[in-house]
Amino acid sequence: MMSGLVLHDSKMPGLKLREWSSADHLLTEGDRALYLDACLNEAGGDTAFIAKALCTIVRAQSISPLAHVTDPGVPLGALIRDSGQLSP
């Protein structure tokens, strides 16, 4: 569920990128556990990487109760940002 924000790269004018938030995709406890496991394996002892992963999981836990009320066509991250409950 990517947001509708399109980013343009001045060095590659034909390239369009969309804003991404992993938290938008960690909807279940299992998703969050697998994400944490993957991040711990990837981190290689980088505590900043692990801290960012934990922050992402906390954001995901905060927004997952809203997942059931979200229209599939509306990005969950955009819904949360628009509601003012969380900052991006």
pLDDT at 48: 92
Residue 11 lies in a domain: no
Residue 16 lies in a domain: no
Domain that holds residue 34: 22-83
pLDDT at 35: 95
Does residue 3 carry a pLDDT above 50? no
Residue 42 lies in a domain: yes
Residue 34 lies in a domain: yes
Answer yes or no: pTM beyond 0.75.
no
- Report the pLDDT averaged over residues 55-70: 72
- Number of separate domains in the chain: 1
Residue 43 lies in a domain: yes
- Report the pLDDT averaged over residues 63-74: 57
pLDDT at 84: 54
State the SS3 of the chain.
CCCCCEEEECCEEEEEEECCCHHHHCCCHHHHHHHHHHHHHHHCCCHHHHHHHHHHHHHHHHHHHHHHHCCCCCCHHHHHHHHCCCCC
pLDDT at 88: 43
Token code pair at residue 20: 């991404």
Residue 6 lies in a domain: no
Residue 14 lies in a domain: no
pLDDT in tens, 4-49: 555 666 677 777 777 888 998 898 899 999 999 999 999 998 999 9
Residue 61 lies in a domain: yes
